[in-house]
């Protein structure tokens, strides 16, 4: 019995380790460490190193105080009460133009922070977006990175996002629940270089990241000593696009606020004569939901639309100076349009010839005839299609050069290197070039005609033919003995097809806009 109990007794060393001297010493050592190195420190709290202190000059402090006083609640409330009725009654859509809201001394400091230097492409230094699309917006750039903005500029934007200024906009516009954009989606510092313009448009209506509706636009112009001859007027157009009803000079310290809807058509469409650039600050405000009357077909559901560019109706009659200038400068571009029509027509005819030759080959079913007729016709059409890349590089079209280059490179590689491996008469090659020829003869032919019907055919047929052609290319590559390369095909197909669907959706939305305009006449 005693021997049994003794065998179960805990060894002395283990007892001391768990209950005795070693445990006490370990606890004491841990306590000393905590007292020595973590005294007065909260457990679980991260201590952030303090930032460098900033000393402001008396002039800077004075400018900040001037801004604070200018945007004080009592002053903005007074302005909102005074001009809210005017804002809502103004045509062609609710807006207001106010001079002197901000202290001139402060805006001078902001103006000095906006870079005077332009890149070789005519963009503001550090810009996140720089547009060179001659059909919509040209030499227009945006800086939306707060880290690249100056101190005064950041502080002004912070004030404009604050509750006092937001409440002022709500009282002025009558739109409750406004939410300022914290991410500068399309806003920030705007610059248009000499020769640049922004065609008449309605803005994107949905901020998809936050699922909010765009409701109010705010612009502050920074152009000192700006005259009528300097141009760059902000134009507000009627819903039916028949008349320019407001022309606003972008003068220094001028604030423009207007309600943003699917029909608030605006822009500065005339190229700046130079040598000065047009500078402004922009900020947009959103709400969760909006009235159906502000949307195309009174339908505000869905993911929204991107920018809807417009063309004036009946401007060929040159009924007023603005309309005449628009027709002469923006709509004409006669030489560019003639060149594009020539390129589209030549490319469409070359692919149409390829369609005919492929059909003759199918009827003849002669392998030699395929090598001597089909292959040269397809390669000729691919060569003529290089016009598309050239026009994209020079900004004559909206296409992105890298996408056009990728598209053309894949086709050329398939035709030159893969076709000899599978054979000209192989079913995969015949399927692929048939889709190429049919799709591009329709695409470029419709571009040459430039009618609503031709565009409808282009986008709807293209959405069907393009994936079949891409599948044929992938099948050819696989048949040629390159399964890994074929597996990579979807990586190139998906972004291109997504872009095609995006263009189609934008076109269908523009058709809806046209129908809505007709209903208002």
In the predicted model, is pLDDT for residue 7 greater than 50?
Answer: no
For every residue of 293-332, DSSP letters joined together read GGSGGG---SS----EE---SSGGG--SHHHHHIIIIIII
396-415 tens-digit pLDDT = 776 778 888 888 898 999 99
pLDDT of residue 448: 85
**Which residue's structure tokens are 């006490």?**
24
Arithmetic mean of pLDDT, 176-194: 92
Taking CA atoms, 1 is separated from 5, 7, 41, 163, 220, in Å, by 6, 10, 56, 84, 98
Confidence category of residue 212, pLDDT binned at 50, 70, 90: very high
| Secondary structure of 323-387 in HEC code, one letter for each residue | HHHHHHHHHHCHHHHHHHHHHHHHHHHHHHHHHHHHHHHHHHCCHHHHHHHHHHHHHHHHHHCHH
Q: Rounded to an integer, what distance in angstroms lies between the CA atom of residue 401 and that of residue 392?
A: 5
Share of the chain above pLDDT 90, in %: 45
111-167 tens-digit pLDDT = 999 877 787 777 888 777 888 887 788 889 989 899 899 999 999 999 999 999 999
User: Please, what is the average pLDDT of the chain?
Assistant: 83
Arithmetic mean of pLDDT, 264-279: 90
pLDDT of residue 300: 82
**Which residue's structure tokens are 């005839």?**
369
Contacting residues for 245 by C-beta, under 8 A, at least 6 apart: 91, 92, 236, 237, 238
Which of 20-34, 82-96, 148-162, 229-243 is predicted with the least confidence, judged by mean pLDDT?
Answer: 20-34
**Dihedral angle sign, alpha carbons of residues 323, 324, 325, 326:** positive
Arithmetic mean of pLDDT, 8-37: 57
* Range with the largest mean pLDDT of 396-410, 434-448, 452-466, 494-508: 434-448
pLDDT of residue 260: 95
Global pTM exceeds 0.85: no
In the predicted model, is pLDDT for residue 316 greater than 60?
Answer: no
In the predicted model, is pLDDT for residue 214 greater than 90?
Answer: yes
pLDDT of residue 517: 39
pLDDT of residue 334: 61
Arithmetic mean of pLDDT, 228-243: 88
Q: Domain 62-331: which CATH class?
A: mainly beta
Share of the chain above pLDDT 70, in %: 82
Confidence category of residue 46, pLDDT binned at 50, 70, 90: low
Residue extents of the structural domains in the chain: 62-331, 334-520
């Amino acid at each position: 019995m005693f021997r049994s109990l003794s065998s179960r007794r805990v060894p002395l060393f283990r007892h001391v380790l768990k209950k005795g001297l070693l445990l006490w010493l370990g606890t004491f050592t841990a306590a000393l460490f905590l007292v020595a190195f973590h005294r007065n420190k909260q457990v679980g709290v991260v201590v952030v190193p303090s930032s460098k202190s900033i000393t402001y000059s008396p002039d800077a402090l004075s400018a900040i105080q001037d801004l604070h006083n200018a945007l004080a609640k009592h002053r903005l409330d007074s302005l909102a009460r005074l001009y809210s009725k005017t804002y809502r009654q103004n045509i062609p859509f609710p807006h207001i133009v106010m001079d002197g809201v901000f202290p001139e001394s402060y805006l001078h400091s902001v103006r000095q922070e906006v870079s005077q230097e332009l890149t070789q492409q005519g963009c503001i230094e550090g810009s996140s977006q720089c547009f060179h699309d001659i059909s919509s917006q040209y030499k227009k750039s945006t800086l939306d990175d707060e880290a690249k903005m100056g101190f005064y500029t950041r502080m002004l934007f912070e004030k404009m996002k604050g509750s006092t200024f937001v409440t002022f906009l709500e009282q002025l516009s009558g739109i409750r629940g406004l939410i300022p954009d914290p991410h500068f989606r399309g806003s920030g510092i705007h610059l248009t270089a000499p020769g640049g313009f922004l065609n008449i448009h309605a803005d994107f209506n949905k901020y998809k990241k936050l699922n909010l509706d765009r409701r109010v636009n705010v612009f502050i112009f920074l152009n000192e000593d700006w005259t009528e001859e300097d141009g760059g007027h902000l134009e507000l157009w009627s819903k039916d696009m028949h008349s320019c009803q407001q022309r606003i000079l972008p003068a220094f310290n001028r604030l423009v606020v207007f309600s943003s809807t699917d029909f608030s058509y605006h822009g500065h469409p005339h190229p700046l004569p130079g040598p000065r650039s047009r500078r402004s600050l922009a900020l947009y405000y959103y709400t969760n939901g909006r009235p159906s009357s502000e949307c195309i077909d009174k339908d505000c559901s869905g993911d929204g639309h991107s920018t809807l560019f417009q063309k004036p109706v009946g401007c060929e009659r040159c009924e007023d100076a603005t309309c005449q200038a628009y027709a002469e400068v923006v709509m004409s571009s006669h030489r560019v349009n003639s060149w594009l029509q020539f390129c589209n027509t030549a490319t469409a005819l070359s692919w149409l010839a390829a369609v005919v030759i492929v059909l003759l080959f199918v009827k003849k079913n002669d392998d030699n005839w395929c090598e001597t007729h089909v292959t040269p016709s397809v390669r000729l059409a691919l060569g003529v299609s290089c016009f598309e890349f050239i026009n994209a590089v020079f900004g004559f079209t909206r296409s992105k050069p890298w996408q056009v280059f990728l598209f053309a490179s894949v086709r050329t590689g398939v035709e030159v290197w893969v076709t000899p491996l599978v054979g000209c008469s192989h079913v995969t090659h015949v399927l692929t070039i048939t889709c190429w020829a049919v799709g591009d003869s329709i695409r470029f032919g419709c571009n040459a005609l430039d009618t609503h019907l031709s565009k409808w055919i282009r986008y709807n047929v293209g959405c069907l033919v393009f994936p079949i052609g891409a599948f044929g290319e992938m099948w050819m590559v696989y048949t040629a003995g390159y399964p890994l390369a074929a597996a990579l095909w979807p990586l190139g197909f998906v972004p291109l097809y997504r872009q095609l669907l995006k263009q189609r959706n934008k076109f269908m939305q523009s058709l809806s806009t046209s129908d809505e305009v007709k209903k208002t006449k």
